[in-house]
Chains A and B, each alone.
Chain A
Amino acid sequence: MSLKERGMQMKSSINYVRFSLFHRFCHFLIIISFFGLVLTGMPLAFRSYGWARWLYELFGGYPTAGFIHRICALITFFAAFIHFLFLFICVSVQKRKGFFWGPGSLLIQPRDIFDIVGDIKWFLGIGKRPDFDQWIYWEKFEYLSLMWGTLVMAVTGLILWFPVQFTKIIPVSVASIVDLPSIALIIHRYEAILAAGFIFTIHFFHTHLLPEKMPVDEAIFTGKITEAEFRHERLSQFKRLESQRQLENYKVAPPSLFVSFLTRLFAVPILITGLLMVGFMFSALLVWAI
């Protein structure tokens, strides 16, 4: 969809809030840190390929790329910290309900099972696209795997950062069977390939590069969606808010064309970089297989 068409669409429709400023800021932090981590770390995993050497040198080689990697790791820690602080304040201080159970929860709910079955029917052309609520099951899966993945990468990354200090706490008899830094390296390397591959293919194609969104789903950057999008993607939530007479609270002015332009200016190169990375990684798999 061209920028002009998109602008027209947003101006001629009622717009609703999809993501608050806090969530957009967190997503931005994660983009910056994730790309920093992938671009400086992935060359090590694909060390025998020319592109890996080129990329590693581009980020300053050893040890500079390593410093950038650690700075980005600290940004990730910060993002995770403010995320859980936000959750804590919402749940314990503001006593807001519905984070752990209900239609607005990011945790798996019974209705997700029906959604999965409905979705598969739709894929095969024997049913209509199911009506989803605030979070679609694969979005929940992405969120939960991000949480799990961050934990795994953080723990193994810290072991690799401070190998001497971490081995100090385990006795010699255990250390001669369980080699903590080596295990951490293997997990860190393959969990990274899993995470980067997942974000650059599955997250990108599920969210940003869909035929109806191409080139980018602006909602996570501008925070706003049109009524048509709301009804099309999350009819169940729309109807729920309508019946609870809360829909009014979500209405906002459409984003300016300039904000949409900035979104694309930022997101398109990032998406292309991710696709290139996954292309390089996949080519390595082909080289290995052939």
Chain B
Amino acid sequence: MVYKSEKSLIRENLSGFKKFTLGALVTLSAAIIGLSPAVLTAGDNGPCIECHTKPDKLKTAEKAKINPITGEIKVVSMVIDEVTFKASAHGGEDFFCIDCHQDLDGADLTDGHKPNLKPVDCITFCHDDPADEYLQSSHVKLMKEKNKDVPTCKDCHAGVTYHYTSLGEKSPRDVPRGTDPLHRKLTIDSCGECHQEYLDSYRNNAHGQVTALGHTDTDVPVCFDCHGKHKILNSADPESKVGKERILETCGSCHANANASFVKHVEHPQIKNLNYYRKLLTAVKNARSNPEDLKTLLKNPQTILCVVFVMYIGILAFTFSAFGLHSLLSWFAVARDELKRKGHADEEQH
């Protein structure tokens, strides 16, 4: 539940600054006075690593973490994988645990530090550039206007954590990069956690079927290639990457010479979405009282796709039942004649 308060951090991202100044002062004074090593200071990961690599030295080796959006509970280990950490973007020589876990700055470690740390604030001092874009996105707009739970940094950049999960499996990737196939693959699932319907329809498309087979390199688009990474806007917004003004550029980044007809492509076909068929049927039923509904649906490119799909299901069902029956019958008729022929041959021999 600690996780959830991240939202408030983004809203009041300035308040962190005060704490930082305070923390810096404490650190500074600690450095000057030269307190006992039981007090955590900047410039040294030693005290952290000493306990956090050995489960028996920790008071709590595992903690439950609840995903605020899906409600999924994950048991996360407090044990750090030093190798993964060192190899990561945050694992350089001049980077320390308390740079992110700032509320531990100057903490007294004689009896262990306080159990629940504040969620890490990625934005205020370091990643303000992507955050600025993120704050303009439709996700944040929803959060501000309707107070909805929306994905924040770590929902997508889950790999930033260096903790093991309870199953002993390492966190998937330490540095999320748009070019990394594993990270690209994981983002499809992350988006799909909320946008299940869109994930399903994406899988029916030419792009989605290739990524479903495990190929997620940059030559096949995943969600964020078309919808954007931090500044994700609703597709109805003309400024969105898939909006009217930018769609040509977005498709054109892979399909050279993409034209105005080409970009009308339906990337999320509804052919297997029962709700679309229900909508179609209702519109046909109410064709007299409300012809506008049907007209709009008939102008929707999805309708033709659905009709073609249903037609093919019919052709498949008819062909395989009719000709399947025919082959079976002919196979058994041949077998019957063969047996008869053999029977006659045997009689003649005797």
The yes or no verdict on A and B being binding partners is: yes
The chain A residues found within 8 Å of chain B, CB to CB, are 43-45, 47-48, 52-53, 56-57, 61-63, 119-120, 122-123, 125, 129, 138, 160, 163-164, 167-168, 170-172, 174-179, 181-183, 185-187, 190-191, 193-194, 197-198, 201-202, 205-206, 209-212
Q: Bound complex: CA of A183 vs CA of B312, how far in Å?
A: 12
| Residues A191 and B312 in contact, CB atoms below 8 Å apart | yes
Q: Bound complex: CA of A236 vs CA of B163, how far in Å?
A: 80
Q: Is B330 an interface residue (CB 8 A)?
A: yes
The total of chain B residues at the interface (CB under 8 A) is: 53
| Residues A179 and B312 in contact, CB atoms below 8 Å apart | no
Instruction: Please indicate the chain B residues that have their CB under 8 angstroms from the CB of A185 in the complex.
Output: 205-206
| Residues A182 and B324 in contact, CB atoms below 8 Å apart | no
- Which of B214, B304, B305, B334 lies in contact with A212, CB distance below 8 A? B334
- Bitwise, B202-224 to A at CB < 8 A (1) or not (0) is 01011001101111010110000
| Residues B327 and A205 in contact, CB atoms below 8 Å apart | yes
| Residues B257 and A164 in contact, CB atoms below 8 Å apart | yes
- Which of A57, A172, A178, A186 lies in contact with B271, CB distance below 8 A? A186
Q: Bound complex: CA of A114 vs CA of B265, how far in Å?
A: 49
What are 27 A-B contacts defined by CB distance under 8 Å? A48-B212, A56-B213, A61-B215, A62-B219, A120-B329, A123-B329, A125-B333, A125-B336, A164-B256, A164-B259, A167-B261, A171-B261, A172-B264, A175-B264, A177-B300, A178-B301, A178-B304, A181-B206, A182-B266, A185-B205, A186-B305, A186-B308, A190-B309, A190-B316, A198-B320, A201-B324, A211-B331
Q: Is B338 an interface residue (CB 8 A)?
A: yes
Instruction: Please indicate the chain A residues that have their CB under 8 angstroms from the CB of B309 in the complex.
Output: 186, 190
- Which of A62, A129, A186 lies in contact with B213, CB distance below 8 A? A62
Instruction: Please indicate the chain B residues that have their CB under 8 angstroms from the CB of A194 in the complex.
Output: 312, 315-316, 319
Q: Which of B219, B262, B334 has the most CB of A within 10 A?
A: B262
Task: Considering the complex, give the chain A residue whose CB is closest to the CB of B309.
Answer: A186
Shortest CB–CB separation between residue A41 and chain B, in angstroms? 10
Q: Is B146 an interface residue (CB 8 A)?
A: no
- Which of A44, A172, A191, A201 lies in contact with B209, CB distance below 8 A? A44
Instruction: Please indicate the chain B residues that have their CB under 8 angstroms from the CB of A61 in the complex.
Output: 213-215
| Residues A123 and B330 in contact, CB atoms below 8 Å apart | yes
Q: Bound complex: CA of A198 vs CA of B327, how far in Å?
A: 11
Instruction: Please indicate the chain A residues that have their CB under 8 angstroms from the CB of B344 in the complex.
Output: none
Shortest CB–CB separation between residue B342 and chain A, in angstroms? 10
| Residues B261 and A175 in contact, CB atoms below 8 Å apart | yes
| Residues A172 and B261 in contact, CB atoms below 8 Å apart | yes
Q: Is B236 an interface residue (CB 8 A)?
A: no
Shortest CB–CB separation between residue A221 and chain B, in angstroms? 20
Residues B309-324 near A (CB distance < 8 A)? 309, 312-313, 315-316, 319-320, 323-324
Shortest CB–CB separation between residue B341 and chain A, in angstroms? 9
For the complex of A and B, 8 pairs with smallest distance between CB atoms: A175-B261, A190-B312, A47-B212, A62-B215, A123-B329, A167-B262, A167-B261, A179-B301
Q: Is B106 an interface residue (CB 8 A)?
A: no
- Taking A44-B209, A62-B215 as known contacts, 8 extra A-B pairs with beta carbons closer than 8 A to each other, sorted by chain A number, are A43-B213, A163-B262, A172-B261, A174-B261, A177-B299, A177-B304, A198-B320, A212-B337
Q: Bound complex: CA of A172 vs CA of B265, how far in Å?
A: 11
Instruction: Please indicate the chain B residues that have their CB under 8 angstroms from the CB of A179 in the complex.
Output: 264-266, 301, 304-305
Q: Bound complex: CA of A63 vs CA of B258, how far in Å?
A: 21
Instruction: Please indicate the chain B residues that have their CB under 8 angstroms from the CB of A205 in the complex.
Output: 327-328, 331
A122-B331 contact, Cβ under 8 Å, with A164-B259, A198-B323: no
Q: Bound complex: CA of A187 vs CA of B309, how far in Å?
A: 8
Shortest CB–CB separation between residue B202 and chain A, in angstroms? 11
Instruction: Please indicate the chain A residues that have their CB under 8 angstroms from the CB of B271 in the complex.
Output: 186
Shortest CB–CB separation between residue B65 and chain A, in angstroms? 29
